[in-house]
Every structure is written in structure tokens, then in C-alpha cells.
Structure 1
Amino acid sequence: MEGWKNKVTLVTGAGSGIGKYVAEQFAKGSASVVPSNIDEKAGSYYPVDGRMIWLFTY
């Protein structure tokens, strides 16, 4: 997923599985990522690198 610089992505279900993988790939491609998940504990393993801001939905 190259060429995502200056792009913002919202990834739902990013706490695990496919959603987690997709969020990580966008971040590796230089996108700013807003991962979203219903489980707040699932997001605690992501390092804060300035490109991921967690959004939890209840």
C-alpha cells in the first residue's frame, strides 16, 4: 500500500484480525490512520507513532 502519504484512513474493526492488518499496512504506507474498534483493550498494543489515533465506538 504505497503512495498513501498525506492521506487519512479510517479503519473499522482494527482491534484484531483483518482490520488490524489493514491498519498496519496503511501506516507502513505512510498514511495517517484512525483505527476504530468497539473493544478499548484491543487497541492498547499499538505503539504511538504519531500516525495512529484510536477511536472507540460504544
Structure 2
Amino acid sequence: RKAFRIFMEATLREEFGHVLEGTGDFDALVDEVTAQMYGDPELRKACDLAADALLAANGKP
């Protein structure tokens, strides 16, 4: 789950960093987005699969 959160943080920062720069709400936004995604059972499965793929691509088990 941590790997997926890091991925989401990087993705959101890349997409919206210019808008969020200088605000203290970025971590809260990432937490909210990932919590909503993990709240949906089908999205949770997809998030877990994505995290596994990210870790495998990075050489981690």
C-alpha cells in the first residue's frame, strides 16, 4: 500500500504540482485520493496489483 501511495504522490505532484505548490494540503490530498481508491473493492485490487508491479519493476519482492 505504501508503494502505491508513493506512486500516487509522484503522479499527482507531476500533474498538479504547479497548482499545489506552496500549499500545505498536498499530503492531505494524496491521503484522500488513495483512501477513496482503497475504499472501492475493485479499485483496491487494481491498486494492489499496480503496487506489486511497481515493486517488481524496481527489483523488490
TM-score by shorter chain over 0.5: no
What TM-score does the superposition give when structure 2 sets the normalisation length?
Answer: 0.30
Structure of greater Rg: 2
Task: State TM-score, norm by structure 1.
Answer: 0.31
User: More strand per residue: 1 or 2?
Assistant: 1
